[in-house]
Amino acid sequence: MKQWWLNPCRTPDAQAREQALARQQQLTKPAGSLGQLEALAVQMAALQGRLKPAAQQVWIAIFAGDHGVVAEGVSAYPQAVTGQMLHNFVSGGAAISVLARQLAAQLEVVDLGTIDPALNLPGVRHLNLGPGTANFAKAPAMTAAQGQQALAAGRDSVLRARAAGAELWIGGEMGIGNTTSASALACALLDCPVSHLAGPGTGLDAAGVSHKAVVIERALALHTAQRGDPLQTLYNLGGFEVAALVGAYLACAQEGIAVLVDGFICSVAALVAVRLNPGCRPWLLFGHRSAEPGHRHVLQALQAEPLLDLGLRLGEGSGAALAVPLLRLACDLHGKMATFAEAAVADRPA
């Protein structure tokens, strides 16, 4: 299969950036007084190639998959919860379902492979790549064929979003055990001690976190020979949903759609994407700083400054969705405030 994820990413529009910067200097406020909101609007202008950007048309994709490493006792929740939450997403009861309704965002749910291959829920795209990944403490999490299918599933979501006129793409994830997978991936990519990245996930106590760290250490030792290869590392340690997020982030950069990245797991997927194709980095905005302890290390590696810091650790794309109103307001302030000339307000002397 052609390695489409290595295709060139679009370059942000430098002229639109300069025009947006000039507009910011003309708005009826002291220069720089809206701080990060100004920079955000200018970045969106460059990504969308227009003076007045917008984030009204939002596409949210939730990717789900089970994890074989749960057999090692690394999660506080049973694996059946993954499939149960798929039903909750499409029936409107999950946090991201509520947020999507409030934002008038398009929400799609993609099941890449859970432990119940017979699962057939209306409103869910079931891809059945396998009954979850293999236990990566004993073998590679997925085959190259499964990994490429998962990457393509992310790309396909972005193509659907583009066809629907999306101005902003958000990915979320669901998969019991996926903080273990994300922590292992981040350790391998950052060459960082496991103790810095293994956290409580869905609610492990201190003993549970210590056990999770031991499992990750075993996995890293098993797959150490391929740690210099980000794609193979993704296949060895990742989840189907993490691989789909990687594919989606790269496709967004190739198609020219701005991304709002969610928390720890999504940020690890972003790290993999940047390692595979660094040209995608300008297209990634970061919604929030998670309470999961490893997130700050991943954000630092990506030189990312998140919009929110609310102690969140839910996943599902919820933190990124919560940041959408802030992004919309940044665009509205940039596009709808009067200039000094329009308001007949005296600017400060040059």
Beta strands across the sheet bearing 258-261: 124-126, 106-113, 58-65, 168-174, 258-261, 284-286
Burial of 8 per CB tally in 10 Å (0-12, 13-18, 19+): exposed
- CA nearest 224: which of 212, 237, 211? 237
Q: Which pLDDT belongs to residue 272?
A: 98
In eight-state DSSP terms, residue 176 is T
What band does 350 get if pLDDT is binned at 50, 70 and 90? low
Q: Which pLDDT belongs to residue 1?
A: 56
On the CB side of 317, CA atoms within 13 Å amount to 33
Which residue is associated with the tokens 């958000």?
170
CATH number of 58-325: 3.40.50.10210
What band does 348 get if pLDDT is binned at 50, 70 and 90? confident
CA distance 237 to 333: 43
Q: Which pLDDT belongs to residue 117?
A: 85
Q: What is the 3-state secondary structure (H, E, C) of 65-76?
A: ECCHHHHHCCCC
pLDDT in tens, 142-184: 999 999 999 999 999 999 999 999 999 999 999 999 999 999 9
Domain ranges of the chain: 58-325
Q: What is the 3-state secondary structure (H, E, C) of 202-258?
A: CCCCHHHHHHHHHHHHHHHHHCHHHCCCHHHHHHHHCCHHHHHHHHHHHHHHHHCCE
- CA nearest 237: which of 151, 139, 136, 150? 136
Cα–chain-centroid distance for residue 101?
A: 20
Given a cut of 90, is residue 118 above it in pLDDT? no
* 245 or 228: which leads in pLDDT: 245
Instruction: Quote the tokens at residue 248.
Output: 């989606």
Q: Which pLDDT belongs to residue 249?
A: 99
pLDDT in tens, 60-112: 999 999 999 999 999 989 999 999 999 999 999 999 999 999 999 999 999 99
Bridge pairing between strands 124-126 and 168-174: unpaired
- CA nearest 290: which of 320, 251, 260? 320
In the chain, what is the greatest distance between 2 CA atoms, to the nearest angstrom? 71
3-state secondary structure of 39: helix
Which residues have a catalytic role annotated? 316
CA distance 232 to 119: 29
